[in-house]
Amino acid sequence: MESNNSTKKYKEKNTINKESISDFLSSEHFNQWPKIGQSINTLISMQHLSILLDSEFIKSKSFFLLLNALKQESSFKSQGHVFFVFDFDFRDLNDEEKQILNSVPYRLLLGDNYDSCFKRISHQGICIAFLATNGEKGTIVQSFARKNGIYLRWYGLDALGNLRSLYAKKQQSSNKDTNIKSSKFTPLFRITNEIVKIQRSSNPVYVVPKQGSRVFSSHGVLSLQLEKPVMTDHFSITYFTDNVRYYAKIYTLQSLQIDVWENKANRMLKENVEIPGVCWPIDTLKDSEGKFVGILTPASNGVQLSRSVLNGKTGLSQLFPQWDKRNLCRLTENILKTICELHEIGVYFGCINPSSIYISSDKEIYFVDTDAWQIEGYPATSKNQTFTPPELLRNNSSPYLYSVDQEYYQIALLTFMLMMPGKFPYAKRKGTNERESIINMSFPFSIGGGMRRSGDSERPSGIWRIVWDHLSYKLCYNFYNSFHPDGKYSLPNKRLKDKDWLQAVKEYYASLESQDRKDSICIFPKTFRHDEKRSFERCSICGQEHPDFYFVHSIRVQKEKIDIWKRGYRICLPCADDKSDVSFSCNCCGRTFFYTNRTKIVHEIGKVDFDWVNQRWCRDCKKRTVKCKQCGRDVPLYQIKDFEDRIRHLKKSVCTECFKSLIEQARYEKERWKNEVYTTRVCNNRYCGRTFTITNGEYEYYNRKGLNLPTRCPNCRKKRF
């Protein structure tokens, strides 16, 4: 009997108080829920709402945003706010996390699952704002809360501490287990290999709205005037509008003749995708006649990724001069997080376009042109050779629908160009272009020490070797194996996934947080990583310390290899190709040219060891060619010499070879002419009377000496008769 009474009291205590709930629903507070985009302070100030936290939220960075907001809210404790934490979640926290949680006045919901926890407070008829990190958990927790008569809405926090909605993936199968980790879900958009059918529009547009025109949202809520264009592509023009919160994307006349754009927009609008920074379409736009002309999108801020980070040192110094490697890691991490979320709901880029990613800070990122992405059977409309996988270029194919494996390649490439700001991973050899370097996978960097050549690629030099050296080994390992032709992740179906790259960047960022050297966190450090295995030397030109392998050790002078390190030269590789203080003047054009430091050393050694003379011709003049007047060949200008034939009174410009042959011919003809007879005379010796000859050579000799021609024969002159 006593047992029945206790059971009755327990049931009465835990029965839902329907009257109290009814009173609350009719009160003015029931509809006062915080709105998406409002600050967390708005939620804290609502006294009628209790706040529920789970272990995943407490372990996340968002929890610290909540704590900072509470510190600013001085009247928080006096308002009687209630924080709830699941008891089974509380057990998962470590001692440090539990200690941090003590700064918030919380109450534990005792129980081993959601149902038993909510039964403890079901009689109170309260409304709860659940702060979570994913929408799937929010859906499950909400279902158990409503089952027990509790009204619950779930929210997330963005990087700025504002409330954001969390999308929930569709469940693939019902799962009675309350453990969120064991639940299975399907993406919002199905993955397919079949492209949608494209037909002519049933209601085509013949006049496209332009700047100054008005367009209307499909539901007639908004009327917007098109102002100056923001961006253009082959299919559309995006305009500013008179409402600063929205952009209007208007398709071209040719695009509006088919139904694919309208059908794709309607399919996208069926799903409520609210990923921070993703400018998902809000509504379709129509003209004054009610015909489809474009889509309404949220406004974005910042500058294009291609003009900032991917523009290398120039873009970063102009737009983000205060950034260091940690900012770069945070930016990359946030971009990869967004990409992972998009992949989870079944959205692919198809072909990544960096010009469609805008950044305002390392945390504030906007993905625009979302209608150009690959969604279900709707293909991506952007094409970019830089991000095209090698196998597609080898086969000279361009698929309508990209596979997730091809998407992973593009993510690897984007990660590389973010961590090595603007650097293309493949080296371009002389005579090759970007397409050939991608097909050959000419990746110039290496791992495991040294900078070995990779295939036929050129060895990287200058700042990129140093930037590569400062990356974490895991990132270098992943990059090498993804882009080198012999890498373990380089072949299709073996590539690293998006989450693998996200994890590698996170680990690198964590290592940078503990760095105490400035060059390690600098985006473009001046020298290599300092470790115990390397010996550093100071460059005699720039004064910067570098490892000994980063110096010029030997040079070739007249095909002879000379060790300049032993001769005391200490010149680093970047300085070797810089301008020196030694110059020469070109004998042809008269301009002054300065040697590089490497060439300066070559000439210094050449003068000492090989008796070189000063350089007389510049490179430009050496490249200039003229026709040889003798053989007719095009020869460099500096090889042309003026040949003068005094006998024939001729003067012509000939090449070196022809000049030598003409000189030899002139010498031969000169000798022959000297041996020819100039005149014949009779010896005037009365005892001789013989006839003798005087050659041209003898005549020239006597004439040059100012002597008269001889009158006696050589024998008489010799005997002195």
Interval 366-396: pLDDT, tens: 999 999 999 999 999 988 899 999 999 998 8
Q: Is 569 exposed, middle or buried (0-12, 13-18, 19+ CB in 10 A)?
A: buried
**Could you count the other beta carbons within 10 Å of the beta carbon of residue 631?**
12
Nearest CA-CA partner of 175 in 166, 185, 186: 185
Segment 542-584, tens digit of pLDDT: 999 899 888 999 999 988 999 999 999 999 988 998 999 999 9
> Looking at domain 214-298, which of 3.30.200.20, 3.90.1300.10, 3.40.1260.10, 3.30.450.40 is its CATH number?
3.30.200.20
Helix (H, G, I), strand (E, B) or coil at 232: strand
Segment 513-536, tens digit of pLDDT: 888 788 889 999 989 988 878 889
Nearest CA-CA partner of 352 in 383, 330, 389: 383
- Of the listed ranges 35-49, 82-96, 443-457, the one predicted with least confidence: 443-457
Vertex 56: Cα angle to 53 and 60 (nearest 5): 100
Report pLDDT for 202.
86
- Separation CA 380–CA 399 (nearest Å): 10
Segment 631-681, tens digit of pLDDT: 888 888 777 888 887 767 778 888 888 988 888 888 888 888 889 999 999
Residue range 533-540: average pLDDT? 89
Higher pLDDT, 326 or 624: 326
Q: Is the pLDDT of residue 301 over 50?
A: yes
**Alpha carbon 94 to its chain's center:** 39
The answer to whether 139 touches 166, Cβ cutoff 8 Å, is no
Segment 674-698, tens digit of pLDDT: 899 999 999 888 888 889 999 999 9
Helix (H, G, I), strand (E, B) or coil at 366: strand
Report pLDDT for 721.
56
User: Greatest CA separation found in the chain?
Assistant: 183
**Could you count the other beta carbons within 10 Å of the beta carbon of residue 689?**
11
Phi, psi of 299 (to 5 degrees): -70, 150
| Beta strands 677-682; 691-695: pairing state | antiparallel
Q: Which two tokens stand for residue 305?
A: 């990724």
**Could you count the other beta carbons within 10 Å of the beta carbon of residue 121?**
20
**Alpha carbon 525 to its chain's center:** 18
Report pLDDT for 457.
42
The answer to whether 132 touches 164, Cβ cutoff 8 Å, is no
> Looking at domain 303-521, which of 2.130.10.10, 3.30.70.260, 1.10.510.10, 3.40.50.450 is its CATH number?
1.10.510.10
- Residue 168 binned pLDDT confidence (cut-offs 50, 70, 90): low
Contacts of 408 (CB under 8 A, 6+ apart): 495, 496, 497, 498
Report pLDDT for 171.
42
Residue range 42-67: average pLDDT? 82
Give the CATH class of 14-170.
alpha beta
- Residue 115 binned pLDDT confidence (cut-offs 50, 70, 90): confident
Q: For the whole model, what pTM was predicted?
A: 0.63
